[in-house]
Amino acid sequence: MAFQVYLSGEIHTDWRQQIIDGCARQGLAITFSSAVTDHAASDAAGDGLGPDCEGFWRDHKSAKINAIRIQNAIQRCDLAVIRFGEQYRQWNAAFDAGFCAALGKPYITLHDASLVHPLKEVDGAAQAWAQTPEQVVELLCYLLKA
């Protein structure tokens, strides 16, 4: 069984790489995707286009361009892993979770126990909650190897 896995959320730690490396060590047939994770490039995604603008409209222009990549990746994936860190509001991660839920795409969350209560609606529609990237790798091993 081969899977496409979409990795959503936090961009300030190396959780994506840990999962990718862990799955590679296990020899799992997984293709990973994610949004552009270079923060500055992502904020500037629309700067080369359309009418010059600042503030709301600059963000708007970039967000809509990034959505081309994100929504294609979600549509194609078999599973999403959605990471919430301690910092920042990460509304985009919760938005991706809601998007998955409405499409019937299974997702798992990855966050510390301290975030359980504020994430209860997001976890409520998830297939699982993991606390470490290693747990995610183990889960993928189980799902794809067994």
Using CB under 8 A as the binding rule, the residues of this chain from 16 to 75 that contact a copy of itself are 33, 36, 38, 41, 45-46, 48-51, 53, 55-57, 59-73
- Residue 24 or 103: the one with the smaller Cβ distance to a copy of itself is 103
Counting contacts by CB under 8 A, is residue 135 touching a copy of itself? Answer: yes
Is the distance from CB of 108 to CB of 70 less than 8 angstroms?
Answer: no
Span from 10-18, 21-29, 86-94 in contact with a copy of itself (CB under 8 A)? 86-94
**CA 26 → CA 23, 51, 78, 80, 139, distances in Å?**
5, 48, 19, 19, 12
Cα 25 from Cα 125, distance rounded (Å): 30
- Residue 18 or 135: the one with the smaller Cβ distance to a copy of itself is 135
Cα 73 from Cα 5, distance rounded (Å): 9
- Written as one letter, the residue type at 8 is S
Please pick, from the candidates 95, 112, 114, 133, the single residue that binds a copy of itself as defined by CB under 8 A: 95
Cα 146 from Cα 141, distance rounded (Å): 8
Size of the site for a copy of itself (CB under 8 A): 75
Please pick, from the candidates 18, 26, 85, 138, the single residue that binds a copy of itself as defined by CB under 8 A: 138
Minimum distance from residue 27 beta carbon to a copy of itself (Å):
18
